[in-house]
Structure 1
C-alpha cells in the first residue's frame, strides 16, 4: 500500500485541524510501514494511539465546526460516532485475533479509506464556510 501523501489538497486552512489530520495520516503511514516490515509487536500500542488520537481530533473538530454551521455539524458529527464504533470494534478484534497481521491489515485498510475520504470529501466542504 502506498503511503498517503499529505498535501495542500487536504488542508482546511485551520492550523489545529490540519496539524491533527497530518498527524493521523503519519500514524496510518507508520502502521503500513510496520505491517510491511512485520513489526507486529509494536502494533497494539500504535493502534490504540490511533484510536485515542482520532477521538481527540473529533473533539477539536466538533468544537470548531459546531460554531460555524450547526446544520453541517448535525450531519457531520454522526459520521465521527460511526467511525469510533467501527475502529473500536476493529481494535477489540485485533486484541483477541489469532492472525494479528491479517487483522491489522483490515484496520489499515479501513483507516486508509476512511481518513482520506473523510478529509477530502467531508471536511473540505467546510473550507469555504471557514474562510468567511
Structure 2
C-alpha cells in the first residue's frame, strides 16, 4: 500500500513540504519496483532516493542551523543514523538481496515519525528566522532602491 501525502504531514514551510512530498514519491517508487519484481528498477529508485534525501537533509540542516535551532546537532545525528541505515539496505539490494518489503516499511515509518515529531519541533524557529530575513530584505530594498525608482 503506497504512502499518501496528506496535510497532516505538512510542517508549514513550503520548500520543506515539497521536498518531503518528493521523498514520498520515491518511497512509492520503491514499492512500485517491488510490484514489478524488478531489482534493476529498485536499485535505480533507491540510488535516486538516497541522493535526493541527502540533499534534502543538507538543505534542512542549513535552515535549522541558520535559524539557531537549539537541537541542530541532535537533528543532524538522526539524519546521519538514518542515512547509514538506508545505505545498508542499498548495499544489501546491490548484493542481490530482496529488501523491498523491509525497506518500504522502514522508510514509511521513519519518514512519517520524523516529519510529525523531529521536523515539527524546528518549524517555529525556522519560520521566525525566515520572516525576519524577509523583513531585512524588504527594509534594504525599500531604502535606496525605492528612492532611486520612487
Residue matched to 1:125:
121
- Partners of 1:10 and 1:124 within 8 A in 2: no
- Partners of 1:35 and 1:104 within 8 A in 2: yes
Residue matched to 1:39:
38
CA drift of 1:37 comes to: 3.6
Matched, 1:60 2:59: yes
Residue matched to 1:5:
4
| CA RMSD after TM alignment | 1.5
- Partners of 2:63 and 2:126 within 8 A in 1: no
Taking the aligned partners of 1:117 and 1:108, their CA distance within structure 2 comes to: 14
TM-score, L = length of structure 2: 0.78
Taking the aligned partners of 1:123 and 1:30, their CA distance within structure 2 comes to: 23
CA drift of 1:105 comes to: 1.8
- Partners of 2:13 and 2:127 within 8 A in 1: no
Residue matched to 2:49:
50
Taking the aligned partners of 1:17 and 1:52, their CA distance within structure 2 comes to: 16
Taking the aligned partners of 1:51 and 1:69, their CA distance within structure 2 comes to: 27
Question: Which range is displaced more, 43-52 or 119-128?
Answer: 119-128
Q: 1:107 aligns with which of 82, 103, 114?
A: 103
**Aligned length in residues:** 128
Q: Which runs of 5+ in 2 are unaligned?
A: 129-150
TM-score, L = length of structure 1: 0.87
Q: Deviations over 1:79-110 (max 9, x none)?
A: 0010111111110111113x43xx12222121
CA drift of 1:128 comes to: 2.5
Q: Which runs of 5+ in 1 are unaligned?
A: none
